[in-house]
Chains A and B, each alone.
Chain A
Amino acid sequence: MKTNARAVVIGGGAIGVSVAYHLAKYGWKDDVVLLEKHELTSGSTWMAAGNVSFFHGNYYGTQVNKKSIEIYKELEKETGQPVGWHTTGSIRTADNPGRMDELGYAYSMNRCLGLDVSYITPEEIGKMHPFIQTEGLLGGLYWPDDGDVDPNSLTQAMAKGARKLGVEFNLHTMVSGIYQKSSGEWVVETDKGDITCEKVVNAAGLWAPEVARMVGLEIPSISIAHTHILYESIQEIADRDTYLPLMRDPDKSIYLRQEMDSLILGLYEANGQQWYKNGVPWDYAQEEINPDLDNISDCIEGGIERFPILGETGFKHITAGPITYTPNAEPLVGPAAPLKNFYNACGYSFGITQAGGIGHYLAGWMMNGEPEIDLWPMDSRRYGSYANWAYNTEKIADTYPRLYSIIYPNEFRDAARPNRTSPIYEYQKQANAVFGDYYGWECPNYFPPKGEDGYEDPTWRRSNAFKHVGAECKHVMEKVGIIDLTRFAKTKISGPGAKAWLNHMTCQKVPEKDGRIALSPMLDHKGNFKTDMTVSRVNENEFFCVTASVGKKHDQHWMLENLPEDGSVCMEDITYQMGCLVLVGPNSRDVLAKVAYDDVSNDVFKFGTSREIYVGRTKCRVNRMNYVGELGFEIFHPIAHQITLYQDLMNAGAEFDIRLIGMYAMDSMRLEKGYLAWKSEMNVHHTPLETNVAWTVKMDKEFIGKKGLEKQKAEGIAQKLVCMVVDVKDSDPFGYNPIFAGDERIGMTSSGGYGHRVEKSIAFGYVKPEFAKEGTQLEVEILGRKRSATVSAMPLYDPKNEKMKS
């Protein structure tokens, strides 16, 4: 066995083998070693059903699936090993209007990628799948290019390809420990000796949590016994010349596909059995679990209702085997924070669908430093420390039976909540808050009047929260409100090198005067958005940086990776020490003046500045800036003072009719103000030059990403961010809607919603620059329907910022 390698991949399932294969293929060749404690495929791969389809709940996951299909079709040519690919097409059915909306979302989102997808009627479904009973179906979507693959052959083909390129496969080799040397190199210890390497990939599947523990990480992945049933031979299928399409009836929580001259039924039952939830034994390998028929009989009956032949055909074999699940069933991929050069590729419950694609994308990410596409939905850093084992086991118990539930953009499921709460949580509850959870934080989405709409109906359209959100927006516009943003990620950057380092990290110029604030995008090496922060200068050697809560781990990991090793810059996470209440609305200054010991008049405390003041007895850092575009103050405070501060503000605000305001109102108002959101407008596909924050780019200094921006400046931008007003009555745009000029697809929305102050439905989107001119008539496709849209001036609300500066 080698003692040195560029990359060591731990795990010989479809995922690990694909990562190794792609690393080798793209240039690392024989500098890649794969370690597997048993034989290839012996964890979960062996029992996978092998379905490979385009359908995925999100845009980027769909792209990974698409890449897999491309790779699987070419793999035999490249490796000489057949993978058992069949193009069968697939159908996803709907038996209720909510499901039809979800299909509408998938249809429109797929069209952003130019995929071949079409609506089909129950009659057409019946023709394509003669065994289906279509009664009750409203329709479905059909993807002609979907298919299936033999998981074992697929893994062996990629292994063969990898071996040809020089990858060393060490089977029956057990990893016993992993540590990092002071040089930064990793040492992977095994029972056959140690390997020193630059990069490590945890593709250990069922055992990924154990491997993670070796480097001090807790990752949220638990295995569940998934069951599928192979039926005995069916003569009518044997007699057919063509393959039956893969069927998914999500309303019955089943899938059905042809296997040789028979069928395989897979199911996601109501009570998924977590298997060795405290850790899978190391000696487990390719072994079937006792199937629990009682536990899955409801789904089998659902299958028989939809496909009556299943009731007349014997069970040839019932396969139950462990597959890993994460809290939201998306995998855990990418750089593992806070480590350097340690990557995750695990937590997969649809590994065959994505193995090819994720191998390709992760290899590129590891080799180039940045992912080719934004993989945030599967990035392992989306989970913070709240996603511990207990959270995970509770959450997965809820997620597994709902894998085929309708995806709604406004659904915040109750399981495993609450986790993190602001100290004023009980006050928020008393004010009838309807909460959402964001990075483990309970945060009010909206505040309905008592007894009304205490539960938000999940929908792709305007929900029962709509009018309450409208009332909150109007309240902020006319009076004063408090938004709880305690969940903000807060980082203190200090030390003699702080200013120079921050200037290197952001394209913006770091404030030169104490108390100044700068909106500061951080870019990747290509010049694309990494993240965006608000930097307040406390003094020459100390800066207070605020970033989005959900990106905390991602953003701080990026900073940590780039932190100078000489100790000249100190980075301190103060997220959990400081809360933030945003006091906002035309009366906000009057309220603050009543309780503050300091002068907060416009002459002293100007817009865009930051001051340390006493609000009551609470010493606060207050930024006169906000995300909703009214006069307002972001009041950062020691978290232990929050209730006192809250009471002071509420008492002082009583005469101004102060009230609490939720996240939905904030998001509505930020759209009206043309403020960008992280991972919507600001992701790895766009630079600031394409947006309305191009003004933050200061080319007269050096910073990460400058070269990319110079190149883009020279070549001209290919896309431009626009604000559109969309003509809709009940279904606002939400992002990943295709944008059309006539029949030509010219862009995609990044986010959208209703602006209650301007009373318009708003979409942000990137389009070809020639369509960015104000007044251009376009169409935005929402839930499968094209809606007319007009490119409008950005922002729609208070373009001169008179309100914020008042």
Chain B
Amino acid sequence: MKICVCVKHVPDTAATIRIEGDAGFKDSEIKFVASPYDEYGIEEAVKLVEKNGGEVVIVTVGKPGADATIRSALAMGAERGILVTTDSQFLDATLTAKALKAAMEKDGMPDIIFTGKGSVDTETFQTQYRLAGYLGMPVVNDVSKLTVDGGKAVAELEVGGGDKQVIEMNLPCVIGATKGLNEPRYPKFPDIMKAKKKKIEQMTLADLGIDGAAGAVILEKLEPVPERSGAKMIEGSVEDQVTELIRILKEDEKVL
């Protein structure tokens, strides 16, 4: 069984993004991680291969520094990695999906493709759908339970109100992983050392015959969220406090 896991190299959610120019940011000084939802995909893939044999290949489209993120995925038990290098952190989901498809086709098509349910940096939540569309595969997102048996996969997802949807599909397929699917393992130091020796194949969009400028979305401007100073303390009786809170949320913060 061959499984590809699409992993995105994203800034740590706790990192302070310092904007540079109109639509860039200083990425040299912040901590990057594998997008957290992707880790559920990695764990699931590794478990499946541990059970059924085969290999897990990490496929990433990102800046050259993304190899560190691939290494962290390799430390969790994946076999090897493919990095399609780009110049920008911000990629249009169409372009990402095209690049992932081309890389997988070049490497040999997998039986299952995992992605996270969405990346925590741009949060467009589209890559898995577009990728499945280009490949003509079934796709289920937000999967919190998965069973693979022979040529079939059964995925469970929560649909609100406590209801669950259970979807059966044929392999190959695309699964968008989310919390609950498993508990991603913490890499041990010897695994991290082993991961350093694992192979990461690097290629550019051009190597795959993809025009890097072909994305449909152009990032025009990044603006910092203004820093808020301190918490507002609301005084008075519980009733007064609630009334005041609702007023603040409606009038001051305009979130209701």
A residues near B (Cβ < 8 Å) are 171-172, 231-232, 281, 283-285, 287-291, 293, 297, 300-301, 304, 310-316
* Distance in angstroms between the alpha carbons of A38 and B193 in the assembled complex: 38
A304-B189 in contact given A172-B229, A288-B31, A290-B32 (Cβ < 8 Å): yes
Q: Are A287 and B18 in contact (CB under 8 A)?
A: no
Report chain A residues within 8 Å CB of B187: 314-315
Interface residues of B in 218-245 (CB under 8 A from A): 227, 229-230
Q: Tell me, in angstroms, the Cα distance from A172 to B16 when the chains sit together.
A: 16
CB interface residues, B 174-201, toward A, < 8 Å:
185-190, 192-193
- Residues of A within 8 Å of B18, CB to CB, are 281, 283
14 A-B contact pairs sorted by A residue (CB < 8 Å): A171-B230, A172-B227, A172-B229, A288-B15, A288-B31, A300-B189, A310-B189, A311-B188, A311-B189, A311-B190, A313-B186, A314-B186, A314-B187, A315-B187
B214 within 8 A of A: no
Residues in A with CB closer than 8 Å to B185 are 314
A315 near B229 (CB under 8 angstroms)? no
Which residue in chain B gives the minimum CB-CB distance to A289? B31
- Which residues on the B side are within 8 Å of A304 (C-beta)? 189
A171 contact from B14, B15, B229, Cβ within 8 A: B229
A-B complex: 5 closest residue pairs judged by Cβ atoms: A314-B186, A172-B229, A232-B186, A290-B31, A314-B188
Give Cα distance in the complex from A291 to B15, angstroms. 13
Evaluate contact between A315 and B32: CB separation under 8 angstroms. no
Please give me the residue from chain A that is nearest to B183 by CB atom: A232
Q: Which residues of A contact B230 (CB under 8 A)?
A: 171-172
Q: Residue of B at shortest CB range from A281? A: B18
A288 near B186 with CB under 8 A, answer no
Pair B192/A288 contact, Cβ less than 8 Å: no
CA–CA, A314 and B14, complex, Å: 22
* Residue B30, interface by CB 8 Å: yes
Contact B30 A287 (CB under 8 A): yes
Q: Is the CB of A312 within 8 A of B16?
A: no
Q: Are B186 and A316 in contact (CB under 8 A)?
A: yes
From the candidates A285, A297, A313, name the one contacting B188 in the complex (CB within 8 A): A313
Q: Does B12 contact A (CB under 8 A)?
A: yes
A287 contact from B15, B186, B188, B227, Cβ within 8 A:
B15
CA distance A231 to B188 in the complex (A): 9
C-alpha spacing A288/B15, complex, angstroms: 7
Chain A residues closer than 8 Å to B16, beta-carbon distance: 283-285, 287
Query: What is the interface size of chain B, counting residues whose CB is below 8 A from a CB of the partner?
Result: 20
Report how far A451 CA is from B14 CA in the complex, Å: 59
- The CA of A314 and the CA of B185, in the complex, are separated in Å by 7
Q: Which residue of B lies closest to A285 (CB)?
A: B16
- CB nearest to A290 among chain B residues: B31
Chain A residues whose CB sits within 8 angstroms of the CB of B186 once the complex forms:
231-232, 313-316
A315 touches B12 (CB 8 A): no
A312 to B187, CA, bound (A): 10
Closest to A320 in B: B31
Whole-angstrom distance from the CB of A773 to the nearest CB of chain B?
62
Instruction: Tell me the smallest distance from the CB of B76 to a CB of chain A, in Å.
Output: 9
A289-B29, A290-B30 known; 19 new pairs, CB 8 Å cut-off, are A172-B229, A283-B18, A284-B16, A287-B15, A288-B14, A288-B15, A288-B31, A290-B31, A290-B32, A297-B189, A301-B189, A311-B189, A313-B186, A314-B186, A314-B188, A315-B186, A315-B188, A315-B192, A316-B186
CA distance A555 to B14 in the complex (A): 47
Chain A residues near B189 (CB-CB < 8 A):
297, 300-301, 304, 310-311, 315
Cα A282 to Cα B14 with chains together (Å): 17
Complex CA distance for A281 and B29, rounded to whole angstroms: 11
Contact assessment for A297 and B12 in the assembled complex, using a CB-CB cutoff below 8 Å: no
Does the CB pair B188–A312 fall under 8 Å? yes
* Docked CA distance A232–B184 (Å): 12
Q: Which of A281, A290, A293, A310 sits near B192, CB closer than 8 Å? A: A293
Contacts of B15 in A (CB 8 A): 287-288
Please, how many angstroms separate the alpha-carbon atoms of A760 and B189 in the complex?
Answer: 55
CA distance A312 to B32 in the complex (A): 25
Chain A residues with Cβ below 8 Å from B12 are 288
A301 vs B188: C-alpha distance when bound (angstroms): 12
Of B30, B31, B32, B187, most A-chain CB atoms within 10 Å: B31
- B30 contacts which chain A residues (CB < 8 A)? 287, 290
CB distance from A42 to the nearest CB of B (A): 11
B32 CB to nearest A CB, Å: 7
Cα of A284 to Cα of B12 in the assembled complex, Å:
15
A294: nearest residue on chain B (CB-CB)?
B196
Task: A171 to B228: give the CA distance in the assembly, Å.
Answer: 11
Give every chain B residue within 8 A of A300 (Cβ-Cβ): 189
Closest Cβ of chain A: how far from B245's Cβ, in Å?
22
Least Cβ–Cβ distance between A62 and chain B, in angstroms? 34
How far, in angstroms, from A171 to B31 measured CA to CA in the complex? 26
Provide the residues of chain B in CB contact with A172, threshold 8 Å.
227, 229-230
Q: CA of A317 to CA of B185 in the docked complex: distance in angstroms?
A: 12
Q: Which residues of B contact A313 (CB under 8 A)?
A: 186, 188
Most chain-A Cβ atoms within 10 A of its Cβ — which of B15, B185, B189, B192?
A: B189
Query: Which B113-157 residues have a C-beta within 8 angstroms of A?
Result: none
**Residues of chain B within 8 A of A283, CB atoms compared:** 16, 18
Q: Which residues of B contact A312 (CB under 8 A)?
A: 188
The minimal Cβ–Cβ distance linking B13 to chain A, given in whole angstroms, is 11
Nearest CB on A from B222, distance (A):
16
Residue of B nearest to A171 (CB): B230
Residues of B within 8 A of A231 (CB): 186
Shortest CB-to-CB span from B126 to chain A, Å, is 29
Chain B: CB-nearest residue to A275: B29
How distant is B201 from chain A, measured CB to nearest CB, in Å? Answer: 21
For B229, give the chain A residue with the smallest CB separation: A172
CA distance A300 to B185 in the complex (A): 19
- Within the assembled complex, what's the spacing in Å between the Cα atoms of A315 and B191? 10
Residue of A nearest to B196 (CB): A294
Taking CB atoms, residues of chain B closer than 8 Å to A310 are: 189
For B31, what are the chain A residues with a Cβ–Cβ distance below 8 Å?
287-291
The distance in angstroms between the C-alpha atoms of A312 and B186, with both chains bound, is: 11
Rounded to whole angstroms, the CA-CA distance of A28 and B79 in the bound complex is: 64
Whole-angstrom distance between the alpha carbons of A172 and B230 in the complex? 8
Closest beta carbon of chain B to A263's beta carbon, Å: 13
**Which residues of B sit under 8 angstroms from A281, Cβ to Cβ?**
18
Closest to B189 in A: A300
Provide the residues of chain B in CB contact with A301, threshold 8 Å: 189
Distance between Cα atoms of A457 and B29 in the complex (Å): 42
For the complex, what is the distance from the CA of A301 to the CA of B193, rounded to whole Å?
A: 10
Q: Considering the chains assembled together, what is the distance between the CA atoms of A313 and B189 in angstroms?
A: 8
In Å, the complex CA distance between A284 and B18 comes to 10
Roughly how many angstroms separate A310 CA and B186 CA in the complex, as a whole number?
A: 12
Most chain B Cβ neighbours within 10 Å, of A231, A288, A291, A315: A315
Contacts of B190 in A (CB 8 A): 311
CB distance from B195 to the nearest CB of A (A): 10
Q: A288 to chain B: which residues have CB within 8 Å?
A: 12, 14-15, 31
**Closest CB-CB distance, A33 to chain B, in whole Å?**
16
CB-CB under 8 A from A232, the residues of chain B are 186
Contacts of A311 in B (CB 8 A): 188-190
* Closest A residue, CB atoms, query B18: A283
| Distance between Cα atoms of A283 and B190 in the complex (Å) | 37
Query: For the complex, what is the distance from the CA of A232 to the CA of B30, rounded to whole Å?
Result: 24
Q: Give chain A nearest CB distance to B232 CB in angstroms.
A: 13
If A315-B187, A315-B188 touch, whether A287 touches B193 (CB-CB below 8 Å) is no
Looking at the assembled complex, report how far the CB atom of B72 sits from the nearest CB atom of chain A, in whole angstroms: 10
- With CB as the reference atom, state the residue of chain A lying closest to B190: A311
B14, A287: Cβ atoms under 8 Å? Answer: yes
Of all chain A residues, which has the CB nearest B76?
A314
> Is B229 in contact with A297, judged by CB distance below 8 angstroms?
no
CB of B194 to closest CB in A, whole Å: 12
Question: Given the complex of chains A and B, what is the CA–CA distance between A678 and B37 in angstroms?
Answer: 63
Closest Cβ–Cβ distance, residue B238 to chain A (whole Å): 23
- By beta carbon, the residue of chain B nearest A39 is B230
CB distance from B33 to the nearest CB of A (A): 10
Q: Which residues of B contact A315 (CB under 8 A)?
A: 186-189, 192
Pick the most buried of A281, A287, A300: most chain B CB atoms within 10 A of its CB.
A287
